[in-house]
Homo-oligomer: A and B are copies of this chain.
Amino acid sequence: MKSNSFDRKKHIYRSEVFVELVKDAVRFFNGTPVHSLPTPEVFLGVGVYALYYTGKNPLYLKYAALNRLAYNYPIYVGKAVPKGWRQSRISDSSATQSRELHNRIKEHGRSITVGAGLLLEEFMCRFVIFEDEASDMIGTIEAALIKLNQPLWNVAVDGFGNHDPGKGRYGQAKSDWDVLHPGRPWAERCKGAHKDDRVIVTNIETHFNRIGV
């Protein structure tokens, strides 16, 4: 098996099936019910979610218009997988029994509540649970949804999904999201030189132009 020769072709994996599978999962995702935040019930499981904006903040009016008739344009897409799951420190069945996905959406709700200029009732969410072996698809489906939808808070405004960086790391800069929507207490502790808000606003305009909406 050890080889001194090198042939790139031998290292390329091809799969037609895969492309169809991702499309199928994305179709399923887009057909699931939409809920307010936090979700009306606590539920178990891990998976992928999207947040949709429908409010009046001038920065995001485009989203309010785009989502007027159907929730097709998420402002943010994310995944929830329990810590340690990726390294199999916990089993698939424990992952299925975790509240990680519910909690992640709830945590986003808290960020929105404390962030200036946003109202929780201006957001809706959609989510899909992946159980057992299908949970390996989570990263792939998250990536596919991001590529497809180019959500603003994933692609052009960094930091919405950040956590408290913790001890020894407050030297870093406040994220773009925290500059636009100040209020998360740990973000205010970050003392690095952050981006000017006018730069971020320009990035938002550029983003909408680039994706042609």
Contacts and interface: CB of A to CB of B under 8 A. Distances in A.
Interface of A: 1-8, 10-15, 17-19, 21-22, 24-25, 28-29, 32-35, 39-41, 43-45, 47, 70-71, 86-89, 124, 127-131, 133-134, 136-137, 139-140, 143-144, 146-147, 150, 154-155, 167-173, 191-192
Contacts of A168: 169-173, 191-192
Give this chain's copy count. 2
Given A133-B18, A144-B136, A13 B33 contact: no
Contacts of A17: 17, 21
A88 to B, nearest CB: 5
Contact of A15 (B3, B25, B47): B25
- Most chain B C-beta atoms within 10 Å of own C-beta, residue among A21, A45, A129, A133: A133
